[in-house]
A and B are shown apart, each in its own frame.
Chain A
Amino acid sequence: MAFDKMELRDIEVWDGNFAAAQALRQCQIDVVSAYPITPSTPIVEGYAKFLADGYVEGEFVMVESEHAAMSGCIGASAAGGRVATATSSQGFALMVETLYQASGMRLPIVLNVVNRALAAPLNVNGDHSDMYLGRDSGWIQLDAYSPQEAYDLNFIAFRVAEDHDVRLPCMVHQDGFMTSHTAQGVHTMDDDTAYGFVGDFKPMNDMLDFEHPVTHGVQTEEDWHFEHKARQHNDLMTKVMPKIQAAFDDFEKLTGRKYNIVEKYDMDDADVAVVCMGTSVETAREVALEMREKGIKAGVVGLRVVRPFPFFEIQEALKDVKAIAALDRSSPNGAPGMLFNEIAGALFNTDTKALLSGYVYGLGGRDLTKKHLTDLYTELQANVDAGKVLTPLQQFIGVRGPKLAFL
């Protein structure tokens, strides 16, 4: 090989961006086609620097927009090799057209999304608006809550996306700044172990196989389009979760780090549960323990896999709780939040008697404080005690001005 391996300490102090960049290096990405946007830029800068320093071999194509970044990724992936990029927010929004094309062509691109709010008004900080914008795009979406997870989930992403039974693109999400720019201890794998986990790229329908010319990106009308979309949905619904679980199992054997499709914290005997994503999970876990000292049996559920939505795993995780709060970090703009709706859909038609309420929080990087969560758990317990939801079904928390609540 014409590039050098990098000696890593067992524990490195990395922020989420650098952790993701290191994962891309260790996966030996063939082509990165990218465009800078805060706060995700350091991921592709990291890859570019590794390339410049001879720690990876490949092509870095610095294009002129995020739309072109994903377009280049699609061309490169269809040509037949390992492809990744990163983006956030407005860049993600600009990519949306091509996201559907990548998934429809079944190209296993990995996109690191460092979550950030969507304008207007403009904002560079973390919320989940971009993640929510991608949720119907046919991609697998994994959510990391910390730099460690941003590192680990990239390996999971390539392993699952490139599996010939799956062949779907995958996003790895992390929270802008809170994860991407916060340095923490990250347990590393050495280069050989890491690469061994994802393995060599196995091409499929690759344009560069000149003995087997392929046509990608056809036109289908009313006679074929529905069948192709149905096929893609079927594969997301039936094939992806078992592969993710298998990858998690293998990863645990390799590293000792255990991931679950739905993460449960203190849920065994919980009466009240918060369901959330990203860095909020850690805050909620801390508060849940404090609530338990006050006699409230609090727990936390975090989505590790956002798409495909873990319908049965959510049912299972919440089947015995009495009150649930769905925390959405994206303005639903005229509807209940996504998590509220998905949880309601999962629990409807089951025997649960759980009370469900929704909270919108943290837009544009607004902090979710321990006080917010303490109040929230207290409200949930009050709901349990009353046997009904005492608050409106949708409340905004942490916003200035008169109390904002609906439904």
Chain B
Amino acid sequence: MANTGWDEFEIGAMLRTFEGEAGNIAQTLQEDRNYTENSSFRASVADWRIEKPVFNKDYCIDCQFCWVYCPDISIISRDKKMIGIDMDHCKGCGICVEVCPTNPKSLLMFPEQADEESVIAQWPSKEEKEK
């Protein structure tokens, strides 16, 4: 939203989340919602990241640990399957990688500039547990 003048916004510093009626919002997925420009969903914090998580679906068991513990609603799960990461809202905290239980992990942190295809091509293999 542009920095408008004093006469160009609603009174009371009130903000609306949705255009029109919200409907059954608790069962409407983000892609089906009609957010206003005032929802932070429409904003990005991608530039906060130094490192980014990369998702390798080959190893994912859809346990949803990353989904439930992501502070930034950036793990996109649909129909009980992890399908990707919302890179506009991910702040690069790395929690998803820490809680990922697979071996090797299905999520790993890489420098923000890293090329996704090449890091997936060089994904580490299974770690042997120390006996």
Contact = CB atoms under 8 A, between A and B. Distances in A.
A106 B25 contact: no
Contact of B12 (A104, A210, A212): A104
Interface stretch (B3-11, B86-94, B102-110, B115-123): B3-11
B5 A106 contact: no
Given A211-B23, A235-B11, 6 more contacts: A105-B12, A107-B12, A205-B12, A215-B15, A216-B14, A228-B13
Contact of B13 (A104, A210, A212, A234): A104
Contact of B15 (A106, A218, A232): A218
B81 interface: no
Nearest to B11: A106
Interface residues of A, number: 26
B22 interface: yes
B interface SS class? loop
Interface of A: 104-107, 167, 205, 210-218, 220, 223-224, 226-228, 230-232, 234-235
B65 interface: no
B18 A212 contact: yes
23 contacts: A104-B12, A104-B13, A105-B12, A105-B13, A167-B12, A205-B10, A205-B12, A212-B16, A212-B21, A213-B17, A213-B18, A214-B14, A214-B15, A216-B14, A218-B13, A218-B15, A220-B13, A224-B3, A224-B13, A227-B5, A231-B7, A231-B11, A234-B7
B14 A213 contact: no
B11 A167 contact: yes
Contacts of B21: 211-212
A75 to B, nearest CB: 14
Contacts of A105: 12-14
A300 to B, nearest CB: 37
B11 A227 contact: no
Contacts of A210: 22
Nearest to A215: B15
Contacts of A230: 6
Interface of B: 3-7, 9-18, 21-23, 25, 38
Nearest to B1: A224
A205 to B, nearest CB: 5
A210 B24 CA distance: 9
Given A106-B11, A167-B11, A231-B11, A214 B16 contact: yes
Nearest to A231: B6
Residue in A223, A224, A226 whose Cβ sees the most chain B Cβ within 10 Å: A224
A302 to B, nearest CB: 31
Contacts of B12: 104-107, 167, 205, 216
Contacts of B3: 223-224
A213 B7 contact: no
Contacts of A215: 14-17, 38
Contacts of B9: 227-228, 231
Given A212-B16, A215-B17, A227 B22 contact: no
Please provide the 9 A-B residue pairs with the shortest distance between their CB atoms, ordered closest to farther.
A106-B12, A227-B6, A230-B6, A211-B21, A215-B15, A106-B11, A231-B6, A105-B12, A205-B14
A231 B17 CA distance: 22
A234 B38 CA distance: 24
A106 B14 CA distance: 9
A261 to B, nearest CB: 23
Contacts of A232: 11
A228 B42 CA distance: 23
A211 B13 contact: no
A106 B5 CA distance: 18
Residue in B4, B6, B7, B21 whose Cβ sees the most chain A Cβ within 10 Å: B6
